[in-house]
Amino acid sequence: MTQRRQAVIVGGGVIGVSSAYFLSERNWDVTLVEKGSTGGGCSHGNCGLICPSDVLPLASPGAIRKTLAAMCRGRSPLYIKPRLTPRLWSWLLKFAVRCNTHDMVASAHGRMSLLEPSMLMYQQLFDRLEIDCEWQQKGLLYVFQSQKGLDAYSLTDETLGEEFGLSAKRLESQELHCLDPSLKDAVAGAWYYEDDGHLRLDRLMSEWKRVLTEAGVQIHENTEMQGLGVRHGTVVSVETSSGDFEADAVLIATGAMAAQMHRHMGVRLPIEPGKGYSITMSRPSVCPEIPMLFPEHKIAVTPMHTGYRLGSTMEFSGFDTRINEKRINLIRQSAEVYMREPFGEALHEQWYGWRPMTYDGLPFIGPVPSMKNLFVAAGHNMLGLSMAPATGRLISELMSDETPFIDPTPYRIGR
């Protein structure tokens, strides 16, 4: 009988648990170690959108100009904490260089290769595994306060249609309000991508944990990686606060924290923590039924069966653990611009998480060049949930020496 291979995954977020599932499906014995609780990091309080329509990266034509203008007005959803960090400024320079149409479209194609199959895989997984996570496929509304913004988005929609076959329905003000009366009359209109979905991510993570446990995956929470046991360029064990775990292959799936693990991995990943915030509350009496993005204010609204969430903003302040009330207030003030009842009566949680941001908008998925059997799946920007199933399948195929179902070249380390 062939001996089963041992895989150790470091990181219990949505990318780590998805990878654990697909490795288990390939008859690996999987051990998952998480320094906190499974799904307790950036996979806990984000807005739960599964949205192939959000395929374009942040690095796009005009992004720098628009951001600087908003920062000058004092209401920018992007905040960069002033600090002398060569690593951050190098990242920002590379980001600025990519703010052109050619690089934007190239990155978007790499993103879509993960987004499109993930949507189909989610639907299959939910049916097969009977996962209860408040999954709904009601689409996504890109809502604009101004007529200028609504009209200008037509160029983006044209690009998405030509490059990716994504086509939105334009809704003028009256038609939009008939569809969703939770919006104020002054809102100009929206573009409606009807195939996107959403779910409650904390429910998904608890269900993933159940599925993995039933499949025999060993989950060690409150267990921090302290080092790697390496012999002749091959990882043989993962050293943790709960002891050492032998491994035939190791996967680092720690999101933004992967940027701090260069001493262990032998490679420095250009990932910056982009701090995002969310507010979860009870559903208001006039509650939207379709999730929304407000591109002019960079705010997301997610209605759930058991709650209601406002989220977004981007704060480059390193691994700061404080909740910046100014950012929370910016979310609230922005929601008031659009919503008749922007807040629910009961506040459930104010949350922050570090999004793993790369300057080109693409994750790192694949082997670490300096180690024979060390792999990475990190840097999914704001789309970790939307890309998780395809990422889990791809990395499990690479670790198993199988032919990958998509080209892994766009996600290679050292690109």
Q: Which residues contact 85 (CB under 8 A, 6 or more apart)?
A: 318
Least confidently predicted of 190-199, 278-287, 305-314, 389-398: 305-314
Helix axes 201-214, 14-25, angle to 10 degrees: 30
Nearest residue to 168 via CA among 151, 132, 193: 193
> In whole angstroms, what is the distance from residue 15 CA to residue 325 CA?
29
Least confidently predicted of 13-27, 70-84, 357-371: 70-84
DSSP at 183: B
Quick check: 351 pLDDT over 60? yes
The answer to whether 39 and 206 have CB atoms below 8 angstroms apart is: yes
Nearest residue to 150 via CA among 107, 119, 183: 183
User: For residue 68, what pLDDT is reported?
Assistant: 63
User: For residue 305, what pLDDT is reported?
Assistant: 95
Domains in the chain (CATH in brackets) are 6-43+203-267+361-411 (3.50.50.60), 52-197+271-358 (3.30.9.10)
> In whole angstroms, what is the distance from residue 179 CA to residue 226 CA?
53
* Bridge partner list, 190: 143, 171
User: For residue 80, what pLDDT is reported?
Assistant: 77
Is the backbone of residue 166 left (phi > 0), alpha (psi -120 to 50) or beta? beta
Sign of CA dihedral 231, 233, 234, 236: positive
pLDDT band, residue 76 (cuts 50/70/90): low
Q: Which residue type is seen at 135?
A: W
> In whole angstroms, what is the distance from residue 190 CA to residue 147 CA?
10
pLDDT band, residue 139 (cuts 50/70/90): very high
Q: Quick one: which H or E segment has residue 149?
A: helix 147-164
Phi/psi at 248 (nearest 5 deg)? -90, -20
Angle at 409 between CA 407 and CA 410, to 5 degrees: 100
- Model confidence over 217-251: pLDDT tens digits? 999 999 999 999 999 999 999 999 999 999 999 99
pLDDT band, residue 202 (cuts 50/70/90): very high
User: For residue 86, what pLDDT is reported?
Assistant: 87
What is the reported pTM? 0.95
Q: What is the mean pLDDT of residues 389-414?
A: 98
Nearest residue to 410 via CA among 110, 92, 165: 110
- Calculate the average pLDDT of the chain: 94
